[in-house]
């Protein structure tokens, strides 16, 4: 029996939640922007009316307002969006226990075993749409296929463009619907890869799908280097709708890394300022590790500049003698890595990550550091923050001009709650 996989996606999710909360904006162009107080803020979501004026996600607020002067701009409420997303997940789970989050507004569902209870795949998709609309006021689109990649492709390229918001893409019709699409419409192919494919004479998804895999690998190797075999096979399988991966509810449970990154409000050029950021990031990483019962042995630090066309920066890692989730130890390692590899160019993005994770129920004692005292101290500060908020206790360095912890304490995922 062929699997029946769905990818359900909420239309303009953040903007749709806001329009549902503000009925007076029903017929008006609405966008959710990172910081409406700044014209340089980024558009996070735009409703269909706003999009009809040419407003797009990821463009600056100033650009969007130039296209649509009457645009209603709303500051994001991330906690609300998370709560709505969780409610939608509960709706999916009323149809199947095989639900896998893909993003805050997209989730995979395997409804193969649900057809006997709820009707045909089309009927199930329609019931899902109706329940989400009734519960949240958000319109959803559903792609249906035999595999996750076909469901995703059906949603992104077809369901979002047809009346009813539902499209079925079975394997038998891949050549009819998928192959004629331009190569940039294939999942996993972004702008840079599109350019590579175009230089190789590959313009449509069918150009990849119909090429013998061995020939495609040779052409990829010539263009991208000898280590492109796995990448080539993945693209070839995607073009043919081949995907054996299962819809796995616990797919994100087995954590391999805990990291935190930050895009700075301006270029940082002084080591003393960057040290403040590395300390704040190290503290956040270690706090999340402690909350999940993890400690790690491999510390990574990375940074980048503001110019994406001329990328600068680096990413390096070091292995500690013992696993830890103590802020001081992670910070010292990350700070040392940064100082050893930074080229002195302005920094706009910084990240710290801890990998090589293990349970923190046992740890190595030291003759030179009172780890018991440090662990107890950090768990005490964690408890204070959990009870009274992230800004209830801060390091003095975070109150310096370079510090970002106070402002970030008011946000979720970089956006206001």
Average pLDDT over residues 244-260: 79
Residues 266-281: tens digit of each pLDDT: 899 999 999 999 999 9
- Who wins on pLDDT, 77 or 412? 77
- Who wins on pLDDT, 408 or 192? 192
Phi, psi of 127 (to 5 degrees): -65, -40
- pLDDT score of 391: 74
- pLDDT score of 176: 96
Quickly state the pLDDT bin for 309 (edges 50, 70, 90): low
Round to whole Å and give the CA distance between 371 and 374.
5
Residue keyed to tokens 């190290």: 282
- pLDDT score of 408: 66
Q: Which tokens belong to 191?
A: 């702008």
- pLDDT score of 403: 78
- pLDDT score of 189: 93
Strand partners, 99: 109
Phi, psi of 77 (to 5 degrees): -120, 85
Least reliable range by pLDDT among 44-48, 60-64, 167-171 = 60-64
Residue keyed to tokens 């310096």: 400
The residues assigned a catalytic role are 106
Asked whether residue 309 is marked as a ligand-binding residue, the answer is: no
How much is the pTM? Answer: 0.71
Which residues in 29-67 are b (16+ Cβ under 10 Å) and which e? Answer: bbbbbbbeeeeebbbbbbbebbbeeebebebbbeebbee
**Angle 271-292/327-341 helices, nearest 10 degrees?**
140
The answer to whether 31 touches 73, Cβ cutoff 8 Å, is yes
- pLDDT score of 367: 59
> Any idea what DSSP says for residue 394?
-
Helix (H) or strand (E) holding 79: helix 78-93
- pLDDT score of 203: 96
- pLDDT score of 308: 62
Q: Is the pLDDT of residue 77 over 70?
A: yes
Round to whole Å and give the CA distance between 331 and 320.
12
Contacts of 354 (CB under 8 A, 6+ apart): 257, 258, 259, 285, 286, 289, 294, 296, 298, 299, 300, 325, 330
Instruction: Give one DSSP letter per residue of 175-204, joined into a string.
Output: HHHTTTSBGGGSTT--HHHHHHHHHTT--B
* pLDDT > 90: percent of the chain: 63
Strand partners, 144: 6, 168
Q: Is the pLDDT of residue 253 over 70?
A: no
Round to whole Å and give the CA distance between 72 and 47.
10
Asked whether residue 105 is marked as a ligand-binding residue, the answer is: yes
Least reliable range by pLDDT among 123-137, 279-293, 371-385, 403-417 = 403-417
Q: In the chain, what's the furthest Cα-to-Cα distance?
A: 69
Contacts of 44 (CB under 8 A, 6+ apart): 14, 31, 32, 33, 34, 57, 76, 415
Q: Which tokens belong to 211?
A: 């090429």
- Who wins on pLDDT, 279 or 254? 279
Q: Is the pLDDT of residue 257 over 90?
A: no
Quickly state the pLDDT bin for 415 (edges 50, 70, 90): low
- pLDDT score of 251: 57
Residues 335-364: tens digit of each pLDDT: 999 999 999 999 999 999 999 988 877 766
Quick one: residue 389, left, alpha or beta (phi over 0 = left, psi -120 to 50 = alpha)? left
| SS3 state at 305 | coil
**Domains of the chain, each with CATH number or no CATH:** 1-170 (3.30.70.270), 178-239 (1.10.150.20), 257-416 (3.30.1490.100)
Q: How many Cβ atoms from other residues are within 10 Å of residue 125's Cβ?
A: 27
- pLDDT score of 74: 93
Q: Which tokens belong to 217?
A: 């690998």
- pLDDT score of 8: 97
- pLDDT score of 368: 58
- pLDDT score of 119: 95
- pLDDT score of 307: 73
Please give the mean pLDDT across all residues of the chain.
89
Quickly state the pLDDT bin for 401 (edges 50, 70, 90): confident
Q: Name which of 263, 208, 258 is nearest 237 in CA terms.
A: 208
- Sheet of 72-74: strands edge to edge? 43-46, 30-33, 72-74
Q: Is the pLDDT of residue 255 over 90?
A: no
Quickly state the pLDDT bin for 37 (edges 50, 70, 90): low
**Helices (H), ranges, 204-270:** 205-209, 213-224, 229-239
């Amino acid at each position: 029996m062929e699997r029946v996989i769905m990818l359900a996606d909420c239309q303009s999710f953040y903007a749709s939640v806001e329009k549902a909360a503000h009925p007076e904006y029903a017929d008006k162009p609405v966008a959710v922007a990172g910081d409406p107080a700044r014209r340089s803020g980024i558009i996070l979501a735009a409703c269909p009316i706003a999009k009809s004026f040419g407003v797009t996600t990821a463009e600056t607020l100033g650009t969007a307002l130039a296209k649509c002067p009457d645009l209603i701009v709303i500051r994001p409420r991330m906690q609300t969006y998370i709560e709505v997303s969780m409610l939608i997940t509960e709706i999916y789970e009323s149809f199947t226990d095989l639900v896998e989050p893909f993003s805050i507004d997209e989730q995979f569902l395997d409804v193969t075993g649900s057809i006997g209870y709820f009707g045909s795949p089309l009927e199930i998709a329609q019931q899902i749409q109706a329940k989400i609309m009734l519960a949240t006021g958000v319109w959803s689109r559903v792609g249906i296929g035999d595999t996750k990649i076909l469901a995703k492709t059906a949603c992104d390229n077809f369901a979002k463009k047809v009346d009813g918001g539902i499209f079925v893409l079975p394997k038998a019709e891949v050549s009819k619907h998928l192959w004629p699409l331009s190569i940039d419409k294939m999942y996993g192919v972004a702008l840079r890869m599109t350019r590579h494919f175009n230089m190789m004479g590959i313009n449509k998804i069918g150009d990849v799908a119909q090429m013998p895999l061995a020939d495609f690998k040779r052409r990829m190797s010539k263009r991208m280097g000898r280590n492109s075999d796995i990448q080539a096979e993945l693209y070839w399988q995607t073009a043919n709708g081949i995907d054996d991966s299962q819809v796995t509810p616990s797919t994100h449970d087995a954590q391999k890394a805990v990291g935190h990154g930050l895009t700075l409000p301006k270029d940082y050029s002084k080591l003393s300022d960057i040290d403040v950021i590395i300390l704040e990031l190290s503290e956040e990483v270690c706090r999340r590790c402690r909350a999940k019962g993890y400690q790690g042995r491999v510390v990574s630090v990375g940074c980048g500049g503001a110019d994406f066309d001329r990328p600068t920066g680096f990413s390096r890692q070091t292995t500690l003698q013992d696993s830890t989730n103590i802020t001081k130890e992670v910070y010292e390692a990350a700070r040392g890595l940064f100082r050893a590899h930074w080229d002195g160019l302005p920094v706009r993005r910084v990240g710290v990550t801890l990998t090589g994770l293990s349970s923190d129920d046992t740890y190595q004692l030291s003759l030179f550091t009172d780890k018991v005292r440090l662990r107890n101290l950090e768990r005490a500060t964690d408890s204070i923050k959990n009870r009274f908020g992230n800004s209830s206790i801060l390091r003095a360095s975070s109150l310096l001009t370079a510090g970002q912890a106070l402002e970030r304490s008011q946000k979720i995922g970089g956006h206001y709650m």
